[in-house]
Homo-oligomer: A and B are copies of this chain.
C-alpha cells in the first residue's frame, strides 16, 4: 500500500500561500501528490515561503484546467463541503474519511481529496462529481477553515488511519478478500462516461426531458457513486444501456454471452 495513491486536489485556489501551506501539511503527513485545478496564483513565491521545505511537493504538482482531468484514474473522490446541501449526499467526517480512504488505497485503488475555493468552496456541479462529501465539524458560528488548515485536518486523519492499518494485520487480510479483481471499483472518468451514456439512454426512452432535467441525474450519480461499482458490474450496466438503445431503435437483439 502506498500513500502515493492519494492525491490532494485544490480547485481554483486564489492565494499561493495556501497552496504552499497545503503542500507542507501534506508532506508532514506523508502525502506527496498535489493536483491544482486552474490555480490563480501559481507558481508563486508565497507558495514557496509557506511550503517551508515542502518545495518538492510544489515542484511535482500537476496543474490542470478542469476537475475532470484532476480526477482521471480515481476510484473514489471525497469533496469537502459545508453541511447543508439541498440534495443529501453520503456525508463523512474527517475520521471516517481517513478510514474509507485508506481502505480503498489498501485494496489498490486511487483516491482524491478535493478542496474548493477559499471563499466559495466547491460548486454544486463539482460536489456532484464527488462520491462522498466530507464535513469538518467546525463551530457553526464560525465554520470556514483556512484552506491549508482543512488540508491539514484531512491529511492528519489519513495518516492516523494509515498508521493504524499498518499495525493491524487482520484488517489487511480482510481487505485482501474484498480486493479481488471483481471488486476493483471503476475510476471516476469511467463513471463519468457511464453517466453520459445513462443520460442519453434516459432521453432516448423518454424518461428524461433535457429541457426539464429536475434532479434526476444528480440522484442517479449519488446512487452509483456510493456503490463502488466494480469493473465487471460497469460492463453489465453499460451493456444494458447499449441493448436498451438498440431495442428502442428497433434493432435486432444480441443476446449477452458472458
**Which residues of chain A have a CB within 8 Å of any CB of chain B?**
21, 24-25, 27-30, 50, 52-54, 83-84, 87-88, 90-91, 93-95, 135-139, 142-146, 148-149, 152-153, 156, 159-160, 163, 170-171, 173-174, 177-178, 180, 182-183, 202, 204-209, 212, 214-216, 219-220, 222-224, 226-229, 232-233, 236, 239-240, 243-244, 246-248, 250, 252-258
Residues of chain B with a CB closer than 8 A to A93's CB? 160, 170-171, 174
5 CB < 8 A contacts A-B: A25-B149, A156-B156, A214-B258, A219-B236, A244-B248
Q: How far is the CA of A56 from the CA of B208 in the complex (A)?
A: 52
A223 touches B215 (CB 8 A): no
Known: A90-B178, A143-B28, A146-B25. A258 touches B207 (CB 8 A): no
Residues of chain B with a CB closer than 8 A to A206's CB? 243, 246-247, 252-255
Q: How many copies of this kind of chain does the complex include? A: 2
**A198 CB to nearest chain B CB (Å):** 9
Q: How far is the CA of A146 from the CA of B236 in the complex (A)?
A: 39
Known: A30-B139, A137-B159. A202 touches B152 (CB 8 A): no
A54 touches B142 (CB 8 A): yes
A156 touches B223 (CB 8 A): no
A138 touches B256 (CB 8 A): no
A216 touches B90 (CB 8 A): no
Known: A173-B83, A206-B253. A156 touches B136 (CB 8 A): yes
**A80 CB to nearest chain B CB (Å):** 13
B91 touches A146 (CB 8 A): no
Residues of chain B with a CB closer than 8 A to A229's CB? 223
Residues of chain B with a CB closer than 8 A to A214's CB? 256-258
Residues of chain B with a CB closer than 8 A to A27's CB? 139, 142
Q: How far is the CA of A139 from the CA of B95 in the complex (A)?
A: 19
Query: Ordered nearest first, which 7 A-B pairs have the shortest CB separation?
Result: A206-B253, A205-B247, A227-B227, A207-B243, A30-B139, A137-B170, A149-B152
Q: How far is the CA of A54 from the CA of B157 in the complex (A)?
A: 25
